[in-house]
Amino acid sequence: AGLLRSRPAAAETGAESDPTADLYPVPRNEAYQLDRAVTAEELATTYNNFYEFGSSKDVVDEAQALPLRPWTVVFDGMVEEERSVDIDTLIRAMPLEERLYRHRCVEAWSMAVPWSGFPMKALVDYARPLGSAKYVRMESFMDKEVAPGQRASWYPWPYIEGLTVAEATSELAFMVTGIYGKPVPKQNGAPLRLATPWKYGFKSTKSIVRFTFTDRRPVSFWEELQSSEYGFWANVNPEVSHPRWSQATERVLGSGERVKTLLFNGYAEQVAHLYEGMEDERLWA
Ligand code: MTE
C-alpha cells in the first residue's frame, strides 16, 4: 500500500533511447523457473535500493540524472592485459538470455524478476584473469555531481562488492543489462549490474564501471560501513538472523504476504558445492 506509483514512461527511464534497445526481448532460458509470481514491473522498477541517489526506496526521479553514455567498463588487476571496453561493444559481444530469478534483500523483502543479461562467466572469460586471481572486485560509478547520496561523506563511496572467481564463474552469477524484456532502467542499475540470487541483494552491485581481479578479498561498501552486520559472503540463510532482525521470513513485494525464506534463497542445488569445506567462514551474513 502506498508503494505503487505510476510507471515511469520509457522515455523517462532512458529505455527508448538506449543504443542496445534493438536487442530486446532476448530468448528466455527455461532452466530457471520460479516458485512464485513474477513481481509487477511497476513495483520492481519503482521500489529500489540505490543509495547513490538517496536512502529511501523512491529514487526513480533522482536516478534519471545518471548519464548512461558514454559508459566504459574497465578490466584490470590480475588479468593477462588490462582493457577497457565501451558498454555497447561489450553487450553486443555477450550471449544474451532472460532468466527468472528470485531476489532477497537483507532487509527481508523479496521480489521475482525477469532479468536479461549474460552469464558472468562470459564476462570473466572476456577479461582473461590470471590463474592466480582469486576474487573479482566490482566498482560502481562515482559522480557526486549527479548522485546526491555520494555527497554524504560518511559512506565509503564508490559502492564496492566482490565475489570469488569460483562464484563469479558459477552458473547462477548473472550480469544484468535488461529487465522485463527491455534495457534495465537507471534506478535498477543501468547499464550493467549483477544478480547473485543466492546472496542477499546488496551483493548485486549496480551501474558497474570496473572489474578488478585480485588475490585479496575485497572489502565491500556495507562491510566497510558496518562489518558486524554485513560480511563478504552474505549467502541467504533463514536460520541466521541479522543482528537487528530475523531472516526466517520475507515480505513478498506486491502480495502483502510473508513467506518462509529458503537456504541460499532456494538455490542450494546450484551453489552449495561452492562452500564445501568452508565451515569456518562467516558464510551467512
Ligand atoms: N548497488 C549500488 N551501486 N548502490 C546501492 O545502494 N543497493 C543494493 C543492490 N545494489 C545498491 C546496489 C541493495 S541493498 C539491493 S536490495 C539491490 O541493489 C536492489 O536492487 P533493485 O533496486 O533493482 O531492487
Q: What is the pLDDT of residues 82-104, one digit of tens each?
A: 999 999 999 999 999 999 999 99
Using 50, 70 and 90 to split pLDDT, how confident is the model at 17? confident
Query: Would you place residue 120 in the very low, low, confident or very high pLDDT band (cuts 50, 70, 90)?
Result: very high
Look up residue 142 and give its three cell numbers: 562515482
Residues 6+ apart with CB under 8 A from 119: 95, 171, 173, 174, 175
Does 4 have pLDDT greater than 70?
no
Check whether 5 has a pLDDT greater than 60.
Answer: no
Is the beta carbon of 230 within 6 A of some atom in ligand 1?
Answer: no
Query: Looking at residue 11, what is its pLDDT?
Result: 44
Is residue 24 within 8 A of residue 116, CB to CB? The reply is: yes
pLDDT at residue 256, rounded to an integer: 86
pLDDT at 1: 37
- pTM of the complete model: 0.95
pLDDT, residue 126, reads 98
Ligand 1, pocket-test mutation among 43, 46, 48, 50, most atoms within 8 A of CB: 50
Whether 201 is in the pocket of ligand 1, judged by its Cβ within 6 Å, is yes
In this structure, which residue's CA is closest to atom 19 in ligand 1? 49
Mean pLDDT, to the nearest integer, of 201-220?
98
214 lines ligand 1 (CB under 6 A): no
DSSP state of 128: -
Region 227-256: mean pLDDT is: 96
| pLDDT value, residue 8 | 54
Distance 157 CA to ligand 1 centre (A): 14
46 ligand 1 Cβ < 6 A: no
Q: Is 43 in the pocket of ligand 1 (CB under 6 A)?
A: no
203 CB under 6 A from ligand 1? no
Ligand 1: which residue has its CA nearest to atom 23? 188
Please name the residue whose Cα sits nearest to atom 2 of ligand 1. 206
Q: If you average pLDDT over residues 186-213, what whole number do you get? A: 98
The C-alpha cell at 126 is: 572476456
> pLDDT tens for residues 35-63?
999 999 999 999 999 999 999 999 999 99
Q: Of all protein residues, whose CA lies closest to atom 5 belonging to ligand 1?
A: 50
Q: Which amino acid is at 30?
A: E
Cα(166) to ligand 1 centroid in Å equals 22
pLDDT exceeds 60 at position 13: no
Q: What is the 3-state secondary structure (H, E, C) of 50-116?
A: CHHHCCCCCCHHHHCCCCCCCCEEEEEECECCCEEEEHHHHHHHCCCEEEEEEEECCCCEEEEEEEE
> Cell 558497474 identifies what position?
208
Residue 42 C-beta-side C-alpha neighbours within 13 Å: 7
Residues 6+ apart with CB under 8 A from 166: 274
> Is the CB of 48 inside a 6 Å radius of any atom of ligand 1?
yes
d(CA 70, CA 195): 23
Note whether 266 and 35 are within 8 A (CB): yes
> Cβ(159) to ligand 1 under 6 A?
yes
Residue nearest to atom 3 of ligand 1 (CA): 206
Q: Is residue 1 helix, strand or coil?
A: coil
pLDDT value of position 2: 43
Q: How far is the CA of 188 from the centre of ligand 1 (A)?
A: 7
Task: With a cut of 60, say whether residue 12 has pLDDT above it.
Answer: no
- Residues of the chain with pLDDT > 90, as a percent, come to 93
Name the band, by pLDDT with cuts 50, 70 and 90, for residue 207. very high
Residues 6 or more apart whose CB falls under 8 angstroms from that of 75 comprise: 82, 83, 84, 85, 126, 127, 128, 210, 211, 212, 213
Grid cell locating 148? 546526491
Spatial separation of the C-alpha atoms in residues 234 and 241, rounded to whole Å: 12
Strand partners, 75: 83, 211
Q: Is 204 in the pocket of ligand 1 (CB under 6 A)?
A: yes
**Does the beta carbon of 52 lie inside 6 Å of ligand 1?**
yes
